[in-house]
Structures are given as structure tokens and as C-alpha cells.
Amino acid sequence: MMKLKIAIQKSGRLHDDSIKLLKECGIDINNGVNKLKTEASNFPLEVFFLRDDDIPQYIEDGVADIGIVGENVVLEKKKQVNIVEKLGFGKCRLSMAVPKSFEYTTVKDLENTRIATSYPVIVQEFLQRNDIKAEIHEISGSVEIAPGIGLADAICDLVSSGSTLFMNGLKEVETVLKSEAVLAACHNLQPEQQLLLDKLVFRIQAVKRAKN
Ligand code: PRT
Ligand code: ZN
């Protein structure tokens, strides 16, 4: 029988909630540590554990049919995938932040600044939308320390509670994007896989309704 292949985060903020959602959908997967893939025992589902950054590419290529990943990652990677359903966890926002001493009043204050971020594509679009010229410094982690070490004047990073910004003497000044985990799917699924996806989405919607 044909199986639906789903990519989920191997470890990190979305891993546990992704497994939990599948469980709530009545899908049992034996999640052995350090496994790259596993299968559900009671649904034709094959599960791949991957880094979140790689998930959109795998879906675009059809290596995975669907995946659970932050909408922020889908938008940054610019891959051709469908966002099928928002999942209600992994909520955060991608925000601009500046040092507390920065006298910030409007988005125009970002003109001619150096902005450190792991999201250069989304930031570039934001700057264009607002007609602002600024220098983007792409860094892969610890973005919040960039202003303190003189690498940047501002940052654009994911925020949830805001405590990371606060602890680094930064203040949030613009929300660039609101994000949560989404179910993303390949553009050209086989009819059989589309049917399995419909079945899964039906269950996800029931789980979501039960929580409201
Ligand atoms: O290893 P892999 O590449 O798979 O994982 P990763 O380290 O790239 O991602 P991970 O696990 O940190 O995050 C996965 C996804 O969770 C993100 O793409 C978002 O969609 C979502 N998410 C939700 C968050 C946060 N909330 C979040 N707060 N991702 C990161 N953060 C970080 C943020 O970058 C900052 O360092 O948490 C810090 C801020 O948190 P607060 O609470 O102090 O504001
Ligand atoms: Zn990642």
C-alpha cells in the first residue's frame, strides 16, 4: 500500500508538539531516539525526522509529501509548497529590535542601519515594502548579541516571551511576521496521497475543534 511521507523536526521546539498532534489524531508512531525515519503502526504514514530548515526543500522535491514546519521557515526558504493548515503551536513573531537607548519612532529610523538576522529574505522584503535602505548581515544563531558586540544596529529575530530581547538590552519595535507551525504539502501529490492527506487534515481539524 502507498504511504504518505511526513517530515517533522528531529529535535527542537516543534518536535514534541508535532508528535503529540499525530498522537491526538490517533496515529501511533514509535519514536525511537536517533532514528531518521519510522512508520506509524495504524495509519499509512512514514515519518522522517529532519532539521526544520531542510523541510521545505524536501517537500518541494517530493522526497516528503508533507511536513510540519514554522511558517517563518516556509516563507524564508521560498520553496514551492502549499500551506494546508495552521496548527496552533510554535507561535511566535519575527520582529525588529534595537538597543534600548536607540531613539526609535518610526520604521524610517531603520534607514542606513545594519540589521543582523537569520531571515535575510523576509527582512529584505520588509525593507523593500517600507522603502528603506539598510544593510542585512546574515548570521545563523545568537542574533541577539549582535548589537552588543558592535556587529549591527538592529536585529530581526523570532520572539515569543520577549525575555531574550530584554536580557540583551533590546526592545521590540516592529512585527515583521506572525508565525506558527503549519502543515505544508507538495504541489503535485499523487491522488492516493492526496486522499491520505485529506484524511489526516480531517483529523487535525477535529483535534483543533475539540480544543476550542
Ligand atoms: O535543529 P533545527 O534547525 O531543526 O532547529 P532550529 O534551532 O532552527 O529551530 P528551533 O527548534 O529553535 O525553532 C523551530 C521553530 O519554532 C521556529 O522556526 C519557529 O517557527 C518556532 N518558534 C516559536 C521559535 C520560537 N517560538 C522562539 N522563541 N523559534 C525560535 N525561538 C527563539 C528565538 O530565535 C530567540 O532566540 O527563542 C528566542 C526568543 O524567545 P523568547 O521567549 O525569549 O522571546
Ligand atoms: Zn533550523
Do 86 and 184 share a domain, yes or no? yes
The pLDDT tens digits along the chain (212 residues) read 799 999 999 999 999 999 999 999 999 998 766 789 999 999 999 999 999 999 999 999 999 999 999 999 999 999 999 999 999 999 999 999 999 999 999 999 999 999 999 999 999 999 999 999 999 999 999 999 999 999 999 999 999 999 999 999 999 999 999 999 999 999 999 999 999 999 999 999 999 999 88
Q: List, for residues 27-43, the tens digit of each pLDDT value.
A: 999 876 678 999 999 99
Do 79 and 120 share a domain, yes or no? no
Do 62 and 132 share a domain, yes or no? no
Give distance in angstroms: CA of 30 to centre of ligand 2: 23
**99, containing H or E segment:** strand 92-99
Do 113 and 188 share a domain, yes or no? no
User: What are the grid coordinates assigned to 199, written together?
Assistant: 484524511
Question: What was the pLDDT predicted at 35?
Answer: 82
Is the minimum distance from the CB of 67 to ligand 1 under 6 angstroms? Answer: no
Do 148 and 194 share a domain, yes or no? no
For residue 181, give Cα distances in angstroms to 71, 73, 151, 193.
6, 9, 31, 21
Do 170 and 195 share a domain, yes or no? no
Any idea what DSSP says for residue 40?
Answer: B
Structural domain tally of the chain?
2
Residue-range definition of the domain harbouring residue 138: 92-179
Separation between Cα atoms, residue 193 and residue 128, nearest integer Å:
39
Do 27 and 106 share a domain, yes or no? no
Residues facing residue 185 across a β-bridge: 66, 82
Q: Which of 57, 118, 158, 178 for a ligand 1 pocket mutation test, highest count of atoms within 8 Å of Cβ?
A: 158
CATH of the domain at 11: 3.40.190.10
Do 83 and 185 share a domain, yes or no? yes
Q: List, for residues 11-23, the tens digit of each pLDDT value.
A: 999 999 999 999 9
Q: List, for residues 55-65, the tens digit of each pLDDT value.
A: 999 999 999 99
Is the minimum distance from the CB of 13 to ligand 1 under 6 angstroms? Answer: yes
Do 20 and 60 share a domain, yes or no? yes
Do 44 and 26 share a domain, yes or no? yes
